[in-house]
Chain A
Amino acid sequence: MRYGHTGKVLRVDLTRGTIATQVLDEELYRMYPGGKALAAYLLLSELPKGVDPLGPENMLVLSNGLLTGAPFSTATRFTAAAKSPLTGGYGESEAGGFWGPELKMAGYEAIVITGRAASPVYLWIKDDHAEIRPADHLWGREPEEAQATIRAELGDKLIRVLQIGLGGMGAVMGSKNLKGIAVRGSTKYLENAAEPSVIADLGKTLAKRVKENPLSWDLQVKGTPGLTAGLNASGILPTRNFRAGAFEGVDNIRWEQYESQLLSARRSCYACAVRCKREVKVDDRYQVSDNYGGPEYEAVSGFGSNCGIDDLQAIAKANELCGRYTMDAISCASVVSFAMECYEHELIGPEQTGGLELRFGNAEAMVRCVEMIARREGIGDLLAEGAKRAAAAIGGDAHFFAMQVKGQELPMHDPRGKVGVGLSYATSETGAEHLTAFHDAVLANPDSLQFKGVVPLGISEPLPPRDFSRRKVEYYTVMEHWNNFGKTNGLCYFGPAPRSFIAIEEVVDAVNAAAGWDLSLEEMLRIGERANNLTRVFNAREGFTRKDDTLPERLFTPLEAGALQGVSYPRDEFERALSDLYEIKGWDVESGVPTREKLRELGIEWAADLI
């Protein structure tokens, strides 16, 4: 008997127009219980080396975690993974909302999409029924309109429709002529759980705890835009393409202004009492629809301070355009700030921008540039390729202004003030990513809520944010395994400790209560480690080595302003820490590739034969 999951994977071949259902063995599922782990296993074991990410041979995997759809806060996430057109390596992103839980209620742990449809289609899944339907009439339509049309023609207002644009995953979906995936399910999560009362009780406990815990209270009241002022005071608010760590216009973009100028409602993902999603509406100098989520911190800083812009309405508009055109706000904002710096250094000029004065601080030009990227107009056609490829085409010093790793643009966190985040940026299999392990300040004070939250992971020694000792790297590694387990089980980053209000022991209990397992915390960390190694092997097979685990050169130069003015990322310590990390993880120190011994220890020696 299996609990908490059906083991069912829906296989859709768009070239042939066929649909089949596969049922995974319980033992296999236990090794890769959904989300990142299952996606990495499927991609590594089935995709050959060297496929064209935008060709029909690429696979798009959409996988729920074991806990996705469980009726307690933050159990909402699903993974979208494929070979990335942005990096050429393993590509992945997670999202919350309602789609993953609905897919779970329809009885599927994952959908694997291969091939390419001859003409635009969308997929319709209702419990055991799945069909490929024509979408010629939806192609080129904006998400809200396309979704409304799909709901109307299927006659169900509650259908959840997936349309993605994350880390190149949207481009993969588009390359397959797949416009969207509409889902409706009818099996409640608790009907399949081994111990439903444990899950239900946790749901009640967490719903009550949201307002009683300062960390979740903060996420509910302010959400991530509450970070802006504190990061500015810390000297690590990315400003003008990471030249500085403090922004003179911060008072115009901090949370208090966001709340008074933009906020129209606080929204929630499925069954989540945290309600950290911001809804915004503007009807003034810009028109911003409330159909798309409001800017998160990443967009506030990315389109704001990092472009030298303190106009919240323009920031909200740029963020809305990203939603409207299903583009990732981090990459898009970072490409705009890259282009602004190129313009200021006369590497590009009005002849390339169509007369647009693309300078830091020009809010109107920033918004227009986002439109041009979305529509691939003028220089937008080049910028849509990402900062790395755009820099190569522009030439000269442009590569120095491209703040990217492996082709993925940097999120809005400056590692010069938190060195462990630099290790994340350098070594994450998806390129620069800020949710790989931890943000160093978690470890600063042993009496703080966040530090106490990670003590069960064996973390005991407080370490300052710029400490780069081997101990820091050890803690980094265990936190990375914990986060990878989170990306596997379907919990949001804002759920479990250290970021928010669910104790590590509660996660362990919930997983076992859902699946009827008796896994220890160590075994769950091992699942996270296994997922990490699978993705590392995926990249090694594509030719990635230690030389690709690096950081943009600018980070090794001093910050120009702010509380950390003059501080650089420590190059020598970084190289030593990288060797420490490989050693601790059981990877070859010279190449950065997992050893056969490590893969055998993780029960995936078959992966060693693929390198």
Chain B
Amino acid sequence: MRIHLGGHLGWYDGEKRDWLTIEQSDPISLPALAARLGVPPEEVAIIAVNRRLAHWDDPPVRDGDVVEFFPPMGGGAVGGG
């Protein structure tokens, strides 16, 4: 699975990467994925799965998906009012 940690979220990766690839053959929920990566959910404002806007409670993701997490910096929070 390809994962992008936008803005300051890359800081939470041990190797400070923007993009990383992990093996995840079993489906994993977005909150569980963020936890596995060590990314605090309160710093995440926008999630995109395969280029489409996603939400924390969307269906689980797995190998083959591209998941992008973005912080609020300069941006918005879709669906948030």
Which residues of B are found within 8 Å of A215, using beta-carbon distances?
8, 73
Q: Taking the complex as formed, is B43 at the interface, i.e. its CB lies under 8 A from any CB of chain A? A: yes
> Which chain B residues numbered 26 to 63 have a C-beta less than 8 Å away from chain A?
40, 42-43, 45-46, 48, 53
Contact B76 A218 (CB under 8 A): no
| Chain A residue at minimal CB-CB distance from B71 | A230
Q: Taking the complex as formed, is B64 at the interface, i.e. its CB lies under 8 A from any CB of chain A? A: no
The CA-CA distance from A449 to B68 in the complex, in Å, is: 20
Which residues of B are found within 8 Å of A222, using beta-carbon distances?
7
Q: A229-B68, A447-B42, A448-B43 are in contact. Are A465 and B76 (CB under 8 A)?
A: yes
The CA-CA distance from A221 to B8 in the complex, in Å, is: 9
Which residues of B are found within 8 Å of A449, using beta-carbon distances?
43
Which residues of B are found within 8 Å of A227, using beta-carbon distances?
7, 73-75
Q: Taking the complex as formed, is A445 at the interface, i.e. its CB lies under 8 A from any CB of chain B? A: yes
A498 to chain B, nearest CB (A): 10
The CA-CA distance from A444 to B43 in the complex, in Å, is: 10
The CA-CA distance from A554 to B70 in the complex, in Å, is: 27
| Chain A residue at minimal CB-CB distance from B11 | A214
Interface string of A487-507 (1 = CB under 8 A from B): 000000000000000000000
Contact B43 A234 (CB under 8 A): no
A352 to chain B, nearest CB (A): 36
Which residues of B are found within 8 Å of A444, using beta-carbon distances?
45, 72, 77, 80
The CA-CA distance from A215 to B80 in the complex, in Å, is: 22
Interface string of A223-247 (1 = CB under 8 A from B): 0001101110111100000000000
Which residues of B are found within 8 Å of A417, using beta-carbon distances?
75-76, 78
The CA-CA distance from A465 to B76 in the complex, in Å, is: 6
Number of chain B residues whose Cβ lies closer than 8 Å to a Cβ of chain A = 30
Which residues of B are found within 8 Å of A445, using beta-carbon distances?
42-43, 45, 72
| Chain B residue at minimal CB-CB distance from A564 | B78
Contact A440 B76 (CB under 8 A): yes
Interchain CB contact (< 8 A) of A235 among B6, B76, B80: B76
Interface string of B4-22 (1 = CB under 8 A from A): 1011111110001011000
Which residues of A are found within 8 Å of B77, using beta-carbon distances?
234, 441, 444, 464-465
Contact A418 B76 (CB under 8 A): yes
Contact A230 B46 (CB under 8 A): yes
Contact B74 A255 (CB under 8 A): no
The CA-CA distance from A450 to B6 in the complex, in Å, is: 16
B65 to chain A, nearest CB (A): 15
Which residues of B are found within 8 Å of A217, using beta-carbon distances?
8, 11, 16
Interface string of A275-305 (1 = CB under 8 A from B): 0000000000000000000000100000000
Which residues of B are found within 8 Å of A44, using beta-carbon distances?
none
Q: Taking the complex as formed, is A413 at the interface, i.e. its CB lies under 8 A from any CB of chain B? A: yes
Q: A229-B68, A233-B68 are in contact. Are A441 and B81 (CB under 8 A)?
A: no
Contact A236 B7 (CB under 8 A): no
| Chain B residue at minimal CB-CB distance from A450 | B72
Which residues of B are found within 8 Å of A255, using beta-carbon distances?
18
Contact B7 A441 (CB under 8 A): no
Q: A230-B6, A230-B7 are in contact. Are A214 and B43 (CB under 8 A)?
A: yes
The CA-CA distance from A233 to B72 in the complex, in Å, is: 11
Contact B76 A214 (CB under 8 A): no
Contact A231 B11 (CB under 8 A): no
| Chain A CB within 10 A, most for which of B8, B10, B42 | B8
B66 to chain A, nearest CB (A): 11
| Chain A residue at minimal CB-CB distance from B68 | A233
Contact A441 B78 (CB under 8 A): no
Interchain CB contact (< 8 A) of B76 among A234, A448, A463: A234
User: A-side binding surface: helix, strand, loop or mixed?
Assistant: helix
Q: A218-B10, A221-B16, A465-B80 are in contact. Are A231 and B74 (CB under 8 A)?
A: yes
| Chain B residue at minimal CB-CB distance from A254 | B6
The CA-CA distance from A450 to B72 in the complex, in Å, is: 9
| Chain A residue at minimal CB-CB distance from B74 | A227
B27 to chain A, nearest CB (A): 22
A582 to chain B, nearest CB (A): 24
| Chain B residue at minimal CB-CB distance from A416 | B76
Q: A214-B43, A218-B10, A467-B81 are in contact. Are A229 and B70 (CB under 8 A)?
A: yes
A243 to chain B, nearest CB (A): 18
The CA-CA distance from A96 to B80 in the complex, in Å, is: 35
The CA-CA distance from A450 to B10 in the complex, in Å, is: 16
A32 to chain B, nearest CB (A): 31
> Which chain A residues numbered 435 to 456 have a C-beta less than 8 Å away from chain B?
439-442, 444-445, 447-450
Q: A229-B70, A413-B74 are in contact. Are A448 and B42 (CB under 8 A)?
A: yes
Q: A465-B80, A467-B81 are in contact. Are A256 and B6 (CB under 8 A)?
A: no
| Chain B residue at minimal CB-CB distance from A237 | B75
| Chain B residue at minimal CB-CB distance from A469 | B81
| Chain B residue at minimal CB-CB distance from A226 | B7
Which residues of A are found within 8 Å of B10, using beta-carbon distances?
218, 221
Which residues of A are found within 8 Å of B80, using beta-carbon distances?
444, 464-466
| Chain B residue at minimal CB-CB distance from A452 | B42
The CA-CA distance from A404 to B40 in the complex, in Å, is: 38
Q: Taking the complex as formed, is A379 at the interface, i.e. its CB lies under 8 A from any CB of chain B? A: no
The CA-CA distance from A229 to B47 in the complex, in Å, is: 12
Contact B18 A256 (CB under 8 A): yes
- B residues near A (Cβ < 8 Å) are 4, 6-12, 16, 18-19, 40, 42-43, 45-46, 48, 53, 68, 70-78, 80-81
- A residues near B (Cβ < 8 Å) are 214-215, 217-218, 221-222, 226-227, 229-231, 233-236, 255-256, 297, 413, 417-418, 439-442, 444-445, 447-450, 463-467, 563-564
Q: What are 19 of the A-B contact pairs (CB < 8 Å)?
A: A215-B73, A217-B8, A218-B7, A221-B16, A229-B68, A230-B7, A235-B78, A255-B18, A417-B76, A440-B76, A441-B45, A441-B72, A441-B77, A442-B72, A448-B42, A449-B43, A450-B72, A464-B81, A563-B78
Please give me the 6 A-B residue pairs with the lowest Cβ-Cβ distance, nearest first: A464-B81, A441-B72, A218-B8, A230-B70, A464-B80, A447-B42
Given A297-B74, A441-B72, 18 other A-B residues pairs in contact with their CB atoms under 8 A: A214-B11, A218-B8, A218-B10, A227-B7, A229-B68, A230-B71, A231-B75, A234-B46, A413-B74, A417-B76, A441-B74, A441-B75, A441-B77, A444-B72, A447-B40, A450-B72, A464-B81, A466-B81
